[in-house]
Structure 1
Amino acid sequence: MVEERGTSVSKPPHETVAVVVVTYNRADLLVGMLDGLATQTRRPDAVLVVDNASTDHTREVLDARTDLPLRVTHSEENLGGAGGFHLGLRLAHEAGFDRIWLMDDDVVPAPDCLERMLEHDGPCLMAVREDRRGHLVEKSAVVFDLRNPLAIRPKTDSVETRYRTRAAMPAEVPVQVVAFEGFLVHRRVVDAIGLPDPAYFIFYDDVDFAIRARRAGFPIAAVRDAVLVRQLDFDQQHALDTWKGFYMYRNLFVVHLRYGENAAVRLKPLLITLAVVLLSPLRGGKAEASNVIRAMKAARGMRELSPESRPGRAGESGERHFGP
């Protein structure tokens, strides 16, 4: 059993907070996200935006924001969400901020979201998401099972499924994995475990980071009263036969190969691959079968954390390869 060494954080008189936002070709959603940051009752000390080579009017949106302490990085290539958060968190850590709030471009924090989060001392805190109708849609895993080989999906329980409504939640809910949508992390967690792994490109980089944090003894809590409004519906589960499906399968397999707690769990990716191929005529067809076969092959080469993400490398840029 891992000793939880991070259940509280000794706060200085004024903890500095940097927000890291990763965006790609969603300028209109980005406007709402930045509006939400601008109205925070506890203003962030800096907002670091990683623009993943957007081709829409994202640059114009960012240039017009004089109401926020923006620090913008325009990447020359699309680093993916994983590469963007790796870069943004590295820059915020290098700048010396005490806490770093990771944010996607399609969420809007309630005006008191950051203030409510900072009332809690945990090293890893998660804002609780709802949709535009006010329904709880927090999918952070309460149970992420990497021990039972019969758990086809390791996320067997989430905040959303366990509580159904925000009112039914306690003030803090221990969670095992999170999304990089409203995740607030203390810099000493980065000191101990390193940075998000950019090799994921998209999907599961946040899961990987959360598993590493918990295994290093840092608990994670979802904060009931920290409200984050998601502007888009969750629909990635319908994309398994698209280019996104490759990353969803590959990265799920990587998590099992890296963190599976026994040989049977580490064998699951192969069994899933066989099942998907056999069932492909009834569901995703040749496209999904091709995705899962390529994913299985690629995952074998990602059993180890990328060198640039390991502890002590937060100040080093290194050579980066983010694509497939």
Structure 2
Amino acid sequence: MDRQDKRRLVAVVVTHNRLSQLRITLGRLLDSDPAHLHAILVVDNASSDDTATWLVDQADPRLHVYRSEANLGGAGGFETGMRQAVERFDPDWILVMDDDARPEPGALAVFHAGERSKAEAWAAAVYYPDGRICDMNRPSINPFWHGDVMRRTLLGGGRDGFHLSQPHYAAEDLCDVDGASFVGLFVSRVAVARIGYPDGSLFLYGDDVLYTLGLRQAGGRILFDPAIRFEHDFSTISDGDRRFRPLWKSYYHYRNLLMVYRLCSGWLFPLVLPAAAAKWLLKVRFHSGERRVFLGYVLRALRDGVLHRKHAPHAQVLTWGKRGRARLTQLRRLGFRGDSDW
């Protein structure tokens, strides 16, 4: 029997200071049939709230904890979690998610009921708690690898041109994709054997897309199954406020997205780079009162993304924002006010 036909499933949950969300997610996972979920591994990314104490008090034998003494970020947490899952449990499939994401009731049963040897990874349909499709978790098709997708994107499709949309979620058919998020992604041991683990040095954002694009580039197959439904209670960016909260997340988002664009576009990357830079710099208009700080993050992200630098310590990234705000305070003391906060 091919390893992808086996169903020893282990869930990896990465958490940092969101105990209220983690409780909901673990409750949902622990409610699942033990035949559908062999173990749950929580990677506690140096939480400073009551997470560690609460986890120690949990008695379910399927729940296991890896406590990191430093915050590794989501990317580091997923790399560590997947490595630990393989070493501890020898799973056939690894299911990854953030602490604010969880399978809808019955989702794991749907996974087990389907024929899963067709692909080396499976992406779930992810929704907000109110039932809307979670935009940040929509699987994608690389337009640089598919001419029809590129044409649709350029002819006005925009983001919808290369991301799955409502018809795909409403359909019963499976759909091949090139990129998917680490919310409701089922990764086979065959995939791990093919390309290894996510790049933990990315810290936050883009590690999932780079990992899945790398799997596709290496010859693996990823399928989207709309019948496997996940919930994501995501709040970093809201519809009414287009800014990252906290703002330092913008650095990782743009730096790592530039690396995604490089992998997607290949030799066309020199054409993609200036368009991406202009688009991101124009987002300064959403950052009244903190424009200097935002621009500092974007410019550093562009520099480090182009040079493929991934090892800026997280403490240093936080310091950049503090320095920018300190300069802004000095400018205001000298008489600068309002939107002229450069």
Name the TM-score class by shorter chain.
0.7 to 0.9
Deviation at 1:199, TM superposition (A): 1.7
The residue aligned with 1:4 is: none
Amino acid at match of 1:26: R
The structure that has the greater radius of gyration is: 2
Matched, 1:44 2:37: yes
The residue aligned with 1:134 is: 131
Pair 1:23–1:227, CA change in 2 (3 A)? same
Pair 1:10–1:266, CA change in 2 (3 A)? same
Q: TM-score, normalised by structure 2?
A: 0.77
Amino acid at match of 2:162: D
Amino acid at match of 1:144: N
Q: Deviations along 1:91-145, whole A, 9 cap, x unmatched?
A: 1223321111111111221232112113231220112112222333363234333
Q: Deviations along 1:164-208, whole A, 9 cap, x unmatched?
A: 8x4x22242222211111110101111111110112110000000
* Aligned 8 A contact 1:142 1:176 in 2: yes
Report the more deviating stretch, 26-35 or 227-236.
Answer: 227-236
Pair 1:102–1:228, CA change in 2 (3 A)? same
The residue aligned with 1:238 is: 243
Deviation at 1:163, TM superposition (A): 2.0
Amino acid at match of 2:299: I
- Candidates 141, 155, 161, aligned match of 1:156: 161
| Equivalenced residues, count | 296
Matched, 1:71 2:64: yes
Identity %: 27
Structure 2: runs of 5+ lacking an equivalent:
318-342
Matched, 1:59 2:52: yes
The residue aligned with 1:272 is: 276
Amino acid at match of 1:88: G
Matched, 1:290 2:288: no
Pair 1:267–1:90, CA change in 2 (3 A)? farther
* Aligned 8 A contact 1:31 1:61 in 2: no
Q: TM-score, normalised by structure 1?
A: 0.81
Amino acid at match of 2:96: L
CA distance in 2, matches of 1:322, 1:20: 24
Structure 1: runs of 5+ lacking an equivalent:
1-7, 307-319
Report the more deviating stretch, 24-33 or 147-156.
Answer: 147-156
The residue aligned with 2:257 is: 252
Of structures 1 and 2, the one with the larger relative CO (CA 8 A, separation 6+) is 1
Deviation at 1:66, TM superposition (A): 1.5
* Aligned 8 A contact 1:33 1:108 in 2: yes
Q: Deviations along 1:272-305, whole A, 9 cap, x unmatched?
A: 324544x4664443233222210111113327xx
The residue aligned with 1:34 is: 26
What SS does the corresponding residue of 1:225 show, helix, strand or coil? strand
CA distance in 1, matches of 2:263, 2:225: 29
Deviation at 1:30, TM superposition (A): 0.4
- Candidates 83, 97, 103, aligned match of 1:103: 97
Give the alignment's Cα RMSD to 1 decimal.
3.0
